[in-house]
A and B are shown apart, each in its own frame.
Chain A
Amino acid sequence: MTDLSAIEQRAEPALALSSAEVADFVALMKPRVMSLVVFTAFVGLLLAPGHFHPVLGFAALVCIAVGAGAAGALNMWYDADIDAVMTRTARRPIPAGRVLPGEALGFGATLAVGSVAMLGLAANWFAAALLAFTIFFYVAIYTVWLKRATPQNIVIGGAAGAFPPMIGWAAATGGVALESVLLFLIIFLWTPPHFWALSLLRSGEYARAGIPMLPVVAGRAETKRQILLYTGALVPVSLAPWLLGYAGFVYGIMAVAAGAFLALLAWRIWTVAEGRPSDLAARRLFGFSILYLFALFAGLLADRAILIG
């Protein structure tokens, strides 16, 4: 896919009427990704020291959610050409022809500016700057640049998905601390095994779309090795909040048990034979990785609830 064809794909006819449903604009915001962003940002907000007014906390979470939605809409605007050739994404609003590219661009840009401005007013301008950087990172660095250029796309681009707990923390405190950096690191190291498990299942589609995902460029064996390596780095880092005393025993038990199971699934992916068993192992790891991240952050919440209670 050349840059020229990508631009042509995004060009609109001189006269075009919108036939978009409201649900299409909701879909542009990637609500499932948004829900994870809101959850992790909420945990960051709640773990932060000091008192933060609940109304301002709610407003900050709305802003972070809308900012994530804006990034999703801008991502779909730019990626409409490759979304159209992948079955997983072909029914998204732009490739399906329900939303015009210009509509998505305007929608995303408006939400991006609005969410950053509102977060600055409701919380503080450091958190707003962090949200603006996150949107910029996801759209410009990941979507426009890395995604089509390098198999390290989701490793570096994963930072965008890892920022929300830091933004939540920054909204409450106005700064960054080791605890919030650890939350960032957990999501950052979780992203490669999670997405590479998916890409093992969809490598044919990525190849057809011209996306240099790791299985396409380096092969399935190397991808499996990298999944194991990143999982090996993730599990010790996930224990750090507990070992350093930032989290209690609920989190500790969650991190040890879920981490051990994640490592087992990653090991199985690496050792299992190619073909159907390999696909099954990849599907299991992908599915469990979502539960794993949720369990870790729920563990942090549980410990905080026990501490307060």
Chain B
Amino acid sequence: MDDERSSDKGIVLTEEQKRRRRARSIAIALVLAALVLLVYIVTIVKLGPGAIQPPR
């Protein structure tokens, strides 16, 4: 934890911590994108073309 703290700069991440945080962020982005795609496809399959047609 010594590397992470500096009295005047607050918490400073090590290069390894930055790399791991970046990898986690990318993974979250990919999972969210997959979720959006899944919800979109499920919506189309369940509702059919009517999902994008306005009600009359």
Contact = CB atoms under 8 A, between A and B. Distances in A.
Interface of A: 15, 17-22, 25, 53, 55-56, 59, 62, 114, 118, 121-122
Given A17-B4, A17-B11, A22-B27, A56 B46 contact: yes
Contacts of A122: 38, 42, 46
Contacts of B39: 118, 121
Contact of A118 (B4, B23, B38): B38
A53 B11 contact: no
A19 B21 CA distance: 8
A17 B24 contact: no
Given A17-B13, A53-B45, A59-B42, 17 more contacts: A15-B1, A15-B11, A17-B4, A17-B11, A18-B21, A20-B20, A21-B24, A22-B24, A22-B27, A25-B27, A56-B42, A59-B38, A114-B35, A118-B35, A121-B39, A121-B42, A122-B42
Interface of B: 1, 4, 11, 13, 16-17, 20-21, 23-24, 27, 35, 38-39, 41-42, 45-46
Contacts of A18: 20-21, 24
B38 A20 contact: no
17 contacts: A17-B17, A18-B21, A19-B16, A20-B24, A21-B23, A21-B24, A22-B24, A53-B45, A55-B41, A55-B42, A56-B45, A59-B38, A59-B41, A114-B35, A118-B38, A121-B39, A122-B46
A21 B20 contact: yes
B17 A19 contact: yes
Contacts, number: 42
Nearest to B4: A17
A62 B38 contact: yes
A63 B41 CA distance: 14
Contacts of A62: 38
A25 B28 CA distance: 11
A90 to B, nearest CB: 21
A55 B45 contact: yes
Nearest to B21: A18
Contacts of B23: 21-22
Contacts of B42: 55-56, 59, 121-122
Contacts of B1: 15
A118 B41 CA distance: 12
Contacts of A15: 1, 11
A14 B1 CA distance: 12
Contacts of B38: 59, 62, 118, 122
A153 B23 CA distance: 38
Contacts of A20: 20, 24
Nearest to A22: B27
Contacts of A17: 4, 11, 13, 17
A25 B20 CA distance: 12
B36 to A, nearest CB: 12
A20 B46 CA distance: 38
A17 B39 CA distance: 33
A93 B11 CA distance: 23
A55 B46 CA distance: 10
Contacts of B16: 19
